Amino acid sequence: MCIFCKIIKGEIPSKKLYEDDDVLAILDISQATKGHTLIMPKKHYENLLEIPSDELRRVMIVAQMVAKKINEVYKPAGINLLNNCGEVAGQSVMHFHTHIIPRYTSSDLKLGFENHMDQYDLDEIQKELKL
């Protein structure tokens, strides 16, 4: 059983912020920034590609609730909503979860995008990915 399933079952202690029949929100033990929270479905799905859309919807509604509460209490300058899908992307627990990371300064978390627009053809990518 994965570590989050054990947390959900109460076999491992956690700092719960919210819980209902389907979703659990707990403080991330690492606290990348103050208030860093994890929101997860109670059922085990490995990642973003596996979770059914109705469960994802429930998780995201709770993520927004948590973000609003953090915003009200800590008044951060911004908030990141982050999901890591796959080990290469930084997923360390293979049970779908999303991070809410309050941002107090622009340098309190290392997250960045480099511009590679000179390497790719947007028309080609649009053609390949259009739904």
Q: Which two tokens stand for residue 89?
A: 């992307």
Q: What is the CA radius of gyration of the chain?
A: 17
- Residue from 36, 95, 97, 99 carrying the catalytic annotation: 97
Cα torsion angle, 9, 10, 11, 17, sign: positive
Q: Which of 36, 42, 95, 99 binds Zn ion (CB under 5 A)?
A: 95
Q: Which amino acid is at 102?
A: P
Nearer to Zn ion, 35 or 95 (CB): 95
Nearest-5° Cα angle at 35, 30 to 40? 75
Interface positions, 15-74, toward Zn ion (CB under 5 A):
44
Closest CB 44 distance from Zn ion, rounded Å = 4
Residues 34/74, Cβ–Cβ less than 8 Å: yes
Size of the site for Zn ion (CB under 5 A): 5
Closest CB 29 distance from Zn ion, rounded Å = 16
Please confirm, yes or no, whether 97 is among the known catalytic residues.
Answer: yes
What residues make contact with Zn ion under the rule CB under 5 A? 2, 4-5, 44, 95
